[in-house]
Amino acid sequence: MAFAAFSSTKSNGTSKPKKTGRVVIALLAPGLAYLGAFFLTPLIALIMVSLQAQDPYGGIGDYIPAFEINNYFLVITEYFPHMFRSFSYALIATILALLISYPLAYFIGVKARPYPLLQKLMLTLVIAPFFISFLLRTLAWKQIFSNESWIVTTLQDTGLLEADQYVVGTPFMVIFGLTYNFIPFMTLPLYTSLERLDTRYLEAGSDLYASPSKVFRKVTLPLSMPGIISGTLLTFIPIAGDYINASGDFLGSSSTAMLGNVIEANYLQINDYPSASALSVLLMGAILILVAGYVKKSGTEDLL
Amino acid sequence: MRLSLGKLTFPLYALLAFIYLLIPIVYTFAFSFNDSLKTNLIWRGFTFDKWTNVCQREGVCEAFGNSVLIGVVSTVAATALGTMIAIALVRYRFKFRRSINLLLFLPMATPEVVLGAGLASQFFNLGVQKGIGTIIVAHVMFCLSFVVVTVKARVASLDPVLEEAGKDLYANPRQVFWKITFPLLLPGIAAAALLSFALSFDDFIITNFNAGSEMTFPRYVYTAAARGVPAEANVIGSAVFIAAILIVLATQINGERKRRMLLKKH
């Protein structure tokens, strides 16, 4: 893909001043070549590894090039629960992040407009979690909800939790962590969209006797749709592939393992490269379908 | 427009949301002062010792040093490559724009496990030994697109008239770039570099697939998580947090000051 792009700019250069064509190639070539070498070809390598077969004469972790389509059927049957979990956790966490972020983004982007400095300070607070290590902030939640913490003992004392029930290791905790960790990815695009919202449209709506909720449904919501779509995409994708929150050392347990946990364990711990790669290819395929749907709706210029 | 919800609903909601966002940060910071032993699970008393003797704990400072080195090298490379692409995308029209936009978007849309496993397979096929070098290669790859996005916004807001004025005054293209374009782009490039460093410094998933036995700060925390993370890790995390927040606040206050000065002049 990358190399096709260069040759096209070159041929395009004939109709334009020659110098411009050369400058464009010089500007684009190094970066695109880099992505070709370290993003695109690794994806091809991944597909090749996903089709490899166990070396009949080798030990654990020895594979030979092959065309084992069967690898895909095996991982789908074996890891269906993990796929289902990845998808459902990501869906729930994305919806929660949207519900939490929307009023916040609306406040920063619309209500706080007369105070630009306050807007900037609040935006800094939204991205503040990015500045503390992802792993440390996840571990902090683990400690806050640990079995000995006052939150859990209070819940047990009030009877909301059984005496032998805990929070860490449950799907609730994993979804809680996923929602928390990816909220800024939802709030920022929503803010960008709402910040551009022309409030005169809202006034027009209420002048025409629309109730506040109707103004929201018919005016605000449709106008902020680009932010909702890109926020959803930016949140859903990393969550679907995450393996920190669901890991047993962090917020999850073996019963909350997601696709990412399987890929990590199979690739790095038991050296089952083909199954890990097949799962990665399936995950990538699912994401590509999502992205394709998005591109069809909004085009490529808005992607970046 | 007046919503019937009442004036205080939104500010109160925002306050609660910010408390929620800041809880783990405050927790991490507080527990960096914990007079803990090997693990840092229960509060045992206040001390500055962990801040003054961070490097006493084996491995913490080495891992931190590696992360800084990797962050700086990948940031320089990714910022240079990404800025060039951003300028080309905004300033020139050419075929295959759609494919290039898509190629730049895909690394951001690809889950980290897929990027990590893919690169690891590539290095394995090529017989490359994993280490600092492979980590840097991986980081430049995933930072590149974020740099393009950030710088692109700045290039787009640049008035081409300024460059034309330079040309009219007989500056050659190189002079136009270094004397006019580059200084005007600098805030965008700086923002992109900061973002790139933050992404690199905090990356765990892709790094874990391509690190071999090399430690970075997130890998140190991950390995330690199984038996308990020492308070020294909280010190490093808090220090990085404070530095980052100070940098962001300084740029914002500076920007606001400039804006007010401009308003006064007019």
B129 touches chain A (CB under 8 A): no
Whether residue B187 is predicted with pLDDT greater than 50 in this model: the reply is yes
Number of helices (H) and strands (E) in chain A: give both, helices first: 15, 2
Structure tokens at B200: 């690199």
CATH number for position B74: 1.10.3720.10
B138 touches chain A (CB under 8 A): yes
Window from A184-188, B65-69, B76-80, B87-91 with minimum mean pLDDT: B87-91
Which of 6-25 (A) contact B at CB < 8 A?
Answer: 8-9, 11-12, 20-21, 23-24
Q: How far is CA A188 from CA A194, A198, A235, A240, B253, in A?
A: 10, 18, 11, 19, 20
Q: Which residues of B touch A75 (CB under 8 A)?
A: none
> Which ipTM was obtained for this model?
0.89
Q: How far is CA A285 from CA A79, A216, B114, in A?
A: 16, 35, 11
Q: Which residues of A touch B36 (CB under 8 A)?
A: none
Are residues B183 and B124 part of one domain? yes
Are residues B74 and B197 part of one domain? yes
Q: A135 and B222: CB-CB below 8 Å?
A: yes
pLDDT by residue (tens digit) across A21-61? 888 889 999 999 999 999 999 999 999 999 999 888 877 77
**Cα–Cα dist B203/B138, whole Å:** 10
Beta-carbon count within 10 A of A297 CB = 11
Domains and CATH numbers, chain A: 2-50 (no CATH), 77-298 (1.10.3720.10)
Are residues B135 and B146 part of one domain? yes
For residue B36, being part of any structural domain is answered with no
For residue B21, being part of any structural domain is answered with no
Q: What is the residue whose two structure tokens read 């991986």?
A: B138
Q: How many domains does chain B have?
A: 2
Interface test with B, best of A133, A149, A243 (most B CBs within 10 A): A133
Across the range B65-76, mean pLDDT stands at: 97
For residue B144, being part of any structural domain is answered with yes
Are residues B239 and B159 part of one domain? no
Are residues B189 and B67 part of one domain? yes
Q: B27 and A143: CB-CB below 8 Å?
A: yes
Cα-to-chain-centroid distance, residue B57: 26
Whether residue B238 is predicted with pLDDT greater than 60 in this model: the reply is yes
Are residues B196 and B100 part of one domain? yes
Range of the domain at B259: 230-266
Across the range B217-223, mean pLDDT stands at: 94
Strands (E), A24-69: 53-54, 63-64
For residue B31, being part of any structural domain is answered with no
pLDDT by residue (tens digit) across A249-274? 999 999 999 999 999 999 999 999 99
